């Protein structure tokens, strides 16, 4: 393990391209189950919490605001009581909070189903809109569910539209071309996701957080998320929340400049990250989605279905056997990530802009943000819904 940490540090210090890009390439080409991943922090591992193991010297316990979220409200969102959550930070990254899977058993399925079945519907915007009509992308779930249900039976079947989905935007729709939000391109933000986000933000000390924009990223096993900073929101004093479901991934958190070597960590299904304060505007990326060591299978925390009986006031909705089967087939080779942000301060409005700015194409793929395997990037830029 020490050798792995040393080799990563040596690589980052070598002359040439910036340190972040070097480590991005290293982890993109990494081999699961080998020393390549020896320097990656695993917050869900007990030895990390005890302060031993690779990277653990950077790990510190984070304090949560337990009294800010009632046990009832946590349960309504499908979360354990905040008093049972574990929360960690990293030395040198003030404002960064990592919460290993705080969801109640089975409750992740609601959020997976919403990302695939509900949030992907119109009027929300997705990458497929660039080359398909609104009628063709009207209900991706209905057009895809039978193909996904029988995925294991027919290996040679064509890919479903859900498998071609790369991103969906919610609330204030992010403009991949101008890198801005605007008041005139907005659809109501999902109330259940807003409630979940408000509880997590409050537990992390951000009472009054308003979920105004969301970007959902849909990863295949060969997908990456390029190096970037989330700076388009007009109010940077509020946190960015990230929810991960499905296959595990490697997340890199760097500095204000790309010549600062990033810290690598695993993101497992159910994990939540909060980036606020100094960490809100740091470079970050996802160089690798990790296939399950058992082949096409689900993480252990997803083996339990959503309970049949839910609290009466829960924002979580029942998941039918058919829906569960479709989601299961999808997640065996995929990962879904929800990022939620507050765009405006309480008394803030969007600045006035020239009319032509608001009329620019709002559905560009922006593959510098979410790419498929590097061998396909050139082709994918030309044909983003392939």
Cis before 123 (ω within 30): yes
* Residue 228 marked ligand-binding: yes
Structure token digits, residue 261:
């070597």
- Find the angle CA(76)-CA(61)-CA(97) to the nearest 5 degrees: 55
**Percent helix, strand and coil across the chain, each to the nearest 5:** 30, 20, 50
* Residue 347 marked ligand-binding: no
Place of tokens 């299904």: 269
**Cβ atoms of residues 147 and 336 within 8 Å:** no
220 forms beta bridges with 334
* Residue 236 marked ligand-binding: no
Cis before 77 (ω within 30): no
**Cβ atoms of residues 169 and 366 within 8 Å:** no
Strand order in the sheet with 370-371: 263-267, 249-253, 284-289, 224-228, 370-371
Q: For residue 368, give the DSSP letter.
A: T
**Cβ atoms of residues 197 and 241 within 8 Å:** yes
Please enumerate, by residue number, every residue annotated as part of a binding site for Fe cation: 228, 230, 284
Please enumerate, by residue number, every residue annotated as part of a binding site: 228, 230, 284
């Amino acid at each position: 393990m020490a050798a792995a940490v040393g080799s990563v540090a040596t690589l980052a210090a070598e002359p040439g391209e910036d340190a972040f890009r070097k480590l991005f390439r290293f982890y993109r080409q990494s081999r699961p189950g080998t020393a390549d991943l020896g320097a990656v922090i695993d917050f869900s591992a007990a030895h990390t919490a005890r302060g031993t193991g690779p990277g653990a010297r950077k790990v510190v316990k984070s304090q949560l605001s337990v009294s800010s979220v009632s046990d009832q409200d946590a349960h309504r969102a499908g979360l354990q009581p905040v008093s049972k959550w574990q929360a960690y930070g990293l030395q040198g990254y003030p404002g960064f909070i990592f919460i290993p899977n705080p969801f109640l058993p089975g409750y992740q399925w609601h959020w997976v189903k919403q990302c695939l079945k509900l949030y992907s519907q119109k009027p929300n915007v997705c990458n497929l809109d660039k080359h398909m009509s609104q009628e063709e992308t009207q209900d991706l779930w209905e057009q895809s569910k039978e193909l996904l249900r029988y995925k294991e039976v027919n290996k040679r079947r064509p890919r479903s539209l859900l498998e071609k989905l790369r991103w969906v935007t919610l609330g204030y729709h992010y403009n991949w071309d101008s890198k801005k939000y605007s008041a005139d391109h907005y659809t109501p933000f999902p109330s259940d996701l807003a409630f979940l986000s408000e509880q997590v933000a409050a537990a992390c000390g951000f009472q009054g957080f308003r979920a105004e924009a969301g970007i959902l990223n849909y990863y295949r096993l060969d997908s990456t998320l390029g190096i970037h900073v989330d700076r388009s929101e007009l109010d940077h004093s509020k946190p960015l929340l990230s929810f991960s479901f499905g296959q595990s991934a490697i997340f890199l958190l760097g500095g204000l400049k790309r010549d600062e070597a990033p810290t690598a960590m695993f993101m497992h299904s159910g994990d939540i990250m909060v980036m606020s304060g100094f960490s809100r505007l740091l470079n970050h990326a996802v160089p690798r989605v990790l296939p399950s060591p058992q082949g096409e299978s689900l993480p252990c925390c997803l083996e339990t279905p959503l309970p049949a009986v839910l609290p009466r006031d829960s924002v979580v909705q029942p998941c039918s056997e058919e829906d569960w089967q479709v989601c299961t087939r999808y997640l065996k080779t995929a990962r879904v990530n929800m990022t939620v942000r507050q765009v405006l301060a309480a008394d803030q409005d969007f600045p006035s802009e020239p009319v032509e700015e608001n009329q620019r194409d709002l559905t560009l793929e922006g593959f510098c943000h979410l790419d498929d395997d590097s061998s396909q990037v050139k082709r994918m830029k030309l044909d983003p819904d392939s």
